[in-house]
Chain A
Amino acid sequence: MSMVDEPLYPIAVLIDELKNDDIQLRLNSIRRLSIIARALGEERTRKELIPFLSENNDDDDEVLLAMAEELGVFIPYVGGVEHAHVLLPPLETLSSVEETCVREKAVDSLCRIGSQMRENDLVDHFIPLAKRLSAGEWFTARVSACGIFHIAYPSASDMVKTELRSIYSQLCQDDMPMVRRAAATNLGKFAATIESAHLKTDIMSMFEDLTQDDQDSVRLLAVEGCAALGKLLEPQDCVTHLLPVIVNFSQDKSWRVRYMVANQLYELCEAVGPEPTRTDLVPAYVRLLRDNEAEVRIAAAGKVTKFCRILNPELAIQHILPCVKELSSDSSQHVRSALASVIMGMAPVLGKDATIEHLLPIFLSLLKDEFPDVRLNIISKLDQVNQVIGIDLLSQSLLPAIVELAEDRHWRVRLAIIEYIPLLASQLGVGFFDDKLGALCMQWLQDKVHSIREAAANNLKRLAEEFGPEWAMQHIVPQVLEMINNPHYLYRMTILLAVSLLAPVMGSEITCSKLLPVVITASKDRVPNIKFNVAKMMQSLIPIVDQSVVEKMIRPCLVELSEDPDVDVRFFANQALQSIDNVMMSS
């Protein structure tokens, strides 16, 4: 056993703990691998540490994951880019373990290192690595291989390029569906590095194979590839090669494939250009909007705004709007909810007149939907419509919807609507708010559910910020302070919370004159919970108010509380007193 100098001791421990029995310690050492590397120096890192890591890779996944991540940024510690290739062997083994997240991280790191390596190093080390992984005995290695071809390919010689393309095409036809899935996922990335001459021949034939795979899971990843390939191909090639595939996919027997198309279609429109979009993709999209599987309609409905943005308004009104009308009364609440979450975005696309004529009735019917999520989704995007047609046309229907949500028996629904109140307030304006919503905001302070009361207090703060202290002084503060006399201590506590949130917004003067007296009164409460919350609150008021006020009003009150019979009250009072002293000292 060697002796280690005292200052090196922490590093020595760190190194030893690479092999500790406790996984947390091993993990800790791996996370600090760069420190170990710097202590060992570049040469010994290359010659000892990296081989050591390559050999000791039968560890827990957590440790391997950390190792894969650290190695990705390890180039500086092995002596720079010219030695980067020494990092490949440990990552090679990590990219064939069976845990997916470790493999993915190792592939990430390989790509990161590969993209920095010198060209001849790539040829000597990285390309052989890609080939070895593609020929791996287990599917895990072959899965990882698919993810590094786009790094290996560009620096290869023409002959090797041909070989790499043929290897990738093998991977696309692998026996294991997992490998074919990986090949499908990475096809777009790989294609981006390939010369356009081969793109149309080799890549498109791989793509076609994948689109005809008998595993649904492979086909639906091929759908994702469509958009990526579409960006690479010339528009006319897109039309001849991709368009038929997309149209086929949109009528695939498997709803999962159609679901993917519904999610991706708007991206493909850009690739094929306006005319084929009109003739082929719009009809395909309309079919998806009317699909008999609800999941597909959900995906299609969720993209309706993005799709319409690509089309000209006439097409959207002519073809898409009728479907949207149908979807707004779809039998599945989830479809309606998906539609409600995006439909407001169509207003700017269609313009004022079309919105009023076509969309407004849909908004109004969705605002009356029996399912609260649908109504909430409409309300959450109100600002988008406000810009186009103004709020007046909606406000009549809006109020009953808000009131109903505000009184929904599910507290999560109430919580959601409270979150949107500041948005509503800003859109509807002070006048409307004062008339209709002010009372609701006060009502929530006395909700039965704590989360609602908490959100209500927070809401008041945000309203005060929105409309300013003067307005708050008139419309919030008196009403809130009135409630401090509520017979139930939990409600009194909510008021204290509201006061403490309002104080910073209201400023020093109002705090001293209006809020602080109420708090001081509350310090005489009979319930200890209120008293120690007063102590906590006062601590938060210290920075807001003047020092003289602290001395005159807050300190005496805290001193009194610090002699309270209740231990918790004393604790928080003393804590607050201490922080007063700290503030004094520092100033």
Chain B
Amino acid sequence: MNLFAINYQQSCLQPVKHGLQSGNLRINFNHGTTCLAFKYSNGIVVSVDSRASAGAYIASGTVKKVIEINPFLLGTMAGGAADCQFWQRVLSQECWLYELRISVAAASKLLANILYNYKGYGLSIGTMIVGWDKKGPGLYYVDDDGTRHSGNLFAVGSGSTYAYGVLDTCYRWDMTDDEALELGRRAIYHATYRDIGSGNSNNLYLVKPDGWKFIGNYDTANLHYQYNPVAAE
């Protein structure tokens, strides 16, 4: 058995399940999250959880994973919290300098181009840029390898698969505001139920032509009993 080979391999940059390892250096990333956003006839719903995990430790249950770029634009946070927060703050600065009300396409492209410049440097960002501009509702998925997709429905993070299950079953274009918000809430609830990386509470936002509105913070434990009421004796 070649001990030298093992040693050499460990000293090079190795991808590890939730981070990077190179020799003694190990960087753990917080991929534990569920963020989702979808367009429907009357607006866009943005629904996220609020758990920050460092391995098996729940570092915080009250993280704000929706970043308010400006009164008309929202960004979600998945991946490295610091990376997301910092770069979306840079994005709000760029948006403010650019024009009175920048389009969602332009804002998401600004971010995607910045992230592409840092490709390979270890940034961890999986975000959705959401807003309403003169072209109507805008929803873009942008991530750290420079990907930028436009779409009607996205879920991001370790709990995204569970969220997709609920969303893909119940999503319709024609929904009332209440139906859409309820769908966003339920999708996050199911993701937090099954995914250890997601949980604690659900933050809901609704985006309309005149800007976004914070709907509320819902404890997922309470949501659990709401959806699974204990039978009365």
A binds B: no
Contact residues of B with A, CB < 8 Å? none
Contact residues of A with B, CB < 8 Å? none
